[in-house]
Amino acid sequence: MNWGYKIFLSLGLFMLCIVGAGIYMVSRDTDTLEDTDYYEQGLHYDDVYTKRSNVVAHEAKPIITVENDTLYIQFVDAPNQGKLIFKRPSDGTQDMELPFQTMTSKFQLPVTTLKKGRWHLEIVWKNAELDFSTDQQLNL
């Protein structure tokens, strides 16, 4: 076999590997960072923007701390009612949404059931007549 056949076989094997890798990546749909309801979220983005603007305008960003497997959220005013949305960047099946209501400005939640690691916490709440939304990265 001369060098012409070797080049032809090498290019053929290379193209076969590239096509195989492309088919493998397309067939494995495990992207947990993609939201399944992105269209609905896009339609309601004005509401989200207003809620986040209210946090800035009214200086209502809560202070979030984690101590001894307990999540503490210190709100500016009381009472507060809303939901906590925990999202796990590495595994979307562990995402959860928890409703909360507090009559004081302090809220605490035990996080012993949550897996250790990095979490994205989004807080959506209502205080008096205003709606608020904020998010923060947590390391548990």
For 115-124, what is the mean pLDDT?
Answer: 91
Q: Is the pLDDT at 10 greater than 90, yes or no?
A: yes
Where are the chain's structural domains? 1-30, 38-139
| Secondary structure element (H or E) that encloses residue 137, with its range | strand 130-139
| Secondary structure element (H or E) that encloses residue 40, with its range | helix 38-43
Where is pLDDT greater, at 134 or 37? 134
| 38-89 per-position pLDDT tens digit | 788 888 889 999 999 999 999 999 999 998 889 999 999 889 999 999 998 8
- The CATH T-level fold of domain 38-139 is Immunoglobulin-like (2.60.40)
- Among the listed residues 111, 105, 104, 58, the one whose alpha carbon sits nearest the alpha carbon of residue 84: 111
**What whole-number distance in Å separates Cα of residue 129 and Cα of residue 51?**
12
pLDDT of residue 28: 76
Q: Is the pLDDT at 32 greater than 70, yes or no?
A: no
